[in-house]
């Protein structure tokens, strides 16, 4: 089940650091591991530089730029970058990266990952989730993975279920239900491993028997937050994967949480905000999904509590589709037309009880309703506790004589109306049953 860690070819790693680095950088995988330490997540300047020069050469260029900024900038290597990244932004970035260069040791971090049975993925690996490419220069340099390394397979049919850490019992319940329901339909549930909705979603997915992926803001060597350690360990041990774009040893800083949300949105086929108040971080995931033109759903909730205000804002401004059950989430996330929800009748639980109650309150037997509008109109016109002649009935019902007789005929055939001496009356076949039925309710 575990894939071996991607360890760079020993021959490709020079034993001594070149260009001021304590390690060789001509291995592109190792260089990407290094970049995931050097640059903060979603550093677009780093992304542009790596996209332009390749990870290894970009790193060597940074080392040179620290030593001799003027020469580095005039070099032909980065000149073409000038059109997208201004020189001063580039040198600002170099100043930001420089403090992390001298202690850089991606091989040590890979060894830590290996100890946890983990895998380093980089773009180009067939197991890399293809959706991440949509992030462009903000695509992660690498993903440090514990658990199932084939994120491409997991993400192929996936949905991100996200929401507030300060969730309500309602939100937790809905998150668990939706996750179990989509898991049952073969979807991987992606979330952030946080308290509240995230944890409920992961748990629901595990219960539903499908894999679930937690994308963490800190390194995968430490399961954060502490209260979710057992849950995250379960994911890493076979129930899915725990993933981060920052190497082991990285702390879960605030900006890393926000940047992490783009990965959740980009690797999933759709994102659903299950419960989120107005300022919830989950809305940043929603914004990423919208920006990436991925399907976005929001689950409504009570308007009295404020706990779903964020969801309601997304519904109100039209950025999100209203989703209320797993079938609707599956329809949102699945290929077009492949996961259409069943007809409303088939999966609506409370209707029959309510309908029956509403009908019995008005005293109309279900048999009459079943005969259609005309019969219903005649039934309404028949007096409740007396009988009436045809003229009076036609007047009361507002029906032509032929229509009236047709309606009376249908009622009589079903034993719901009876005629005596030219006068018609109701027959309540279910009166006994109805009163017995309601006495218990």
Q: Where in 227-246 is the site for a copy of itself (CB under 8 A)?
A: none
Position 166 contacts a copy of itself (CB under 8 A): yes
Other Cβ atoms within 10 Å of 347 Cβ, number:
12
Nearest distance from C-beta of residue 389 to a copy of itself, angstroms: 11
What does the per-residue mask of binding to a copy of itself show for 402-441, with x meaning CB under 8 A? xx--------------------------------------
Rounded Cα–Cα distance for residues 20 and 61 (Å) = 11
Residue 340 sits in the site that holds a copy of itself (CB under 8 A) = no
Instruction: Out of 65, 272, 299, 375, name the contact with a copy of itself by CB under 8 A.
Output: 299
The answer to whether the CB of 33 falls within 8 A of the CB of 142 is: yes
Task: Choose which of 34, 39, 205, 417 interacts with a copy of itself (CB under 8 A).
Answer: 39
Q: Of 176, 126, 181, nearest to 6 (Cα)? A: 126
Report how many residues bind a copy of itself under the rule CB under 8 A: 73
CA separation for the pair 163, 197 (Å, rounded): 5
Choose which of 11, 126, 350, 440 interacts with a copy of itself (CB under 8 A): 350
In the complex, what is the shortest distance from the CB of residue 153 to a copy of itself, in angstroms, rounded to a whole number?
31
Give the rounded distance of the alpha carbon of 199 from its chain centre. Answer: 13
Site for a copy of itself in 236-295 (CB under 8 A): 251, 253-255, 277-279
Binding to a copy of itself in span 59-118, by CB under 8 A: 92, 95-100, 103
Out of 173, 233, 287, 428, point to the residue binding a copy of itself (CB under 8 A). 173
* Binding flag, residue 355, a copy of itself (CB under 8 A): yes
Site string for a copy of itself, 367-386 (x = CB under 8 A): ------x--xx--xx-----
In the set 247, 312, 330, 407, which binds a copy of itself (CB under 8 A)?
A: 312
Nearer to a copy of itself, 129 or 310 (CB): 310
Q: Phi/psi at 143 (nearest 5 deg)?
A: -125, 125
Report, in Å, the least distance between residue 309 CB and a copy of itself. Answer: 6
- Output the smallest distance, CB 68 to a copy of itself, in A: 17
133 sits near a copy of itself (criterion: CB under 8 A) = no
The least CB distance from residue 399 to a copy of itself, in Å, is 6
Q: Which stretch binds a copy of itself (CB under 8 A): 15-23, 28-36, 354-362, 432-440?
A: 354-362
- Contact status: 130 vs a copy of itself (CB under 8 A): no
- Cβ closer to a copy of itself: 68 or 380? 380
In whole angstroms, how close is the CB of 279 to a copy of itself at the nearest point? Answer: 6
Q: Single out the residue of 142, 148, 106, 107 nearest to residue 125, CA to CA.
A: 142
Rounded to a whole number of angstroms, the minimum distance from the CB of residue 349 to a copy of itself is 6
d(CA 389, CA 393): 6
The stretch among 14-22, 23-31, 35-43, 228-236 that binds a copy of itself (CB under 8 A) is 35-43
Binding to a copy of itself (CB under 8 A) within 198-217 occurs at none
Q: Are 242 and 145 in contact (CB under 8 A)?
A: yes
Residue with smaller CB distance to a copy of itself, 322 or 370 = 322
CB of 125 to a copy of itself, least distance (A): 25
């Amino acid at each position: 089940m575990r894939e071996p860690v991607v360890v760079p070819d020993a021959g490709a790693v020079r034993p001594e650091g070149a260009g001021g680095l304590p390690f060789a950088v001509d291995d592109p995988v190792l260089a990407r591991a290094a970049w995931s330490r050097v640059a903060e997540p979603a550093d677009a300047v780093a992304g542009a530089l790596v996209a332009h020069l390749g990870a290894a050469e970009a790193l060597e260029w940074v080392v040179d730029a620290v030593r001799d900024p003027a020469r580095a900038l005039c070099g032909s290597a980065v000149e073409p970058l000038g059109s997208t990244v201004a020189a001063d932004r580039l040198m600002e970035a170099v100043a930001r990266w420089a403090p992390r260069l001298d202690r850089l040791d991606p091989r040590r971090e890979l060894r830590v990952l290996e100890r946890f049975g983990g895998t380093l993925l980089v773009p180009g690996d067939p197991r890399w989730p293809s959706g991440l490419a949509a992030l462009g220069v903000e695509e992660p340099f690498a993903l440090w993975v514990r658990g199932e390394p084939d994120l491409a397979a997991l993400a192929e049919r996936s949905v991100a279920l996200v929401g507030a850490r300060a969730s309500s019992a309602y939100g937790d319940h809905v998150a668990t239900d939706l996750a179990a329901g989509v898991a049952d339909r073969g979807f991987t549930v992606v979330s952030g491993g946080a308290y509240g909705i995230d944890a409920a979603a992961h748990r629901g997915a595990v219960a539903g028997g499908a894999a679930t992926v937690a994308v963490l803001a800190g390194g995968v060597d430490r399961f954060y937050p502490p209260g979710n350690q057992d849950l995250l360990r379960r994911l890493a041990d076979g129930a899915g994967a725990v993933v981060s774009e920052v190497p082991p040893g990285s702390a879960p800083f605030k900006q890393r949480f926000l940047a992490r949300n783009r990965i959740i949105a980009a690797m999933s086929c759709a994102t659903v905000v299950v419960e989120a108040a107005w300022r919830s971080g989950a809305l940043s995931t929603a914004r990423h999904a919208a920006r990436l033109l991925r399907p976005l759903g929001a689950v409504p909730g009570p308007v009295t509590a404020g706990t779903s205000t964020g969801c309601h804002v997304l519904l109100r401004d039209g950025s999100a589709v209203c989703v209320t059950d797993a079938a609707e989430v599956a329809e949102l996330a699945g290929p077009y037309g492949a996961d259409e929800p069943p007809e409303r009748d088939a999966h609506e639980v409370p209707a029959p009880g309510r309908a029956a109650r509403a009908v019995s309150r008005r005293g109309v037997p279900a048999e009459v309703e079943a005969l259609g509008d005309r019969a219903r109109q005649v039934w309404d016109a028949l007096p409740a506790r007396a009988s009436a002649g045809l003229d009076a009935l036609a007047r009361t019902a507002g029906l032509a004589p032929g229509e009236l007789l047709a309606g009376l005929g249908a009622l009589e055939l079903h034993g719901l109306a009876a005629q005596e001496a030219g006068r018609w009356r109701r027959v309540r076949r279910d009166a006994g049953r109805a009163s017995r039925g309601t006495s218990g309710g």
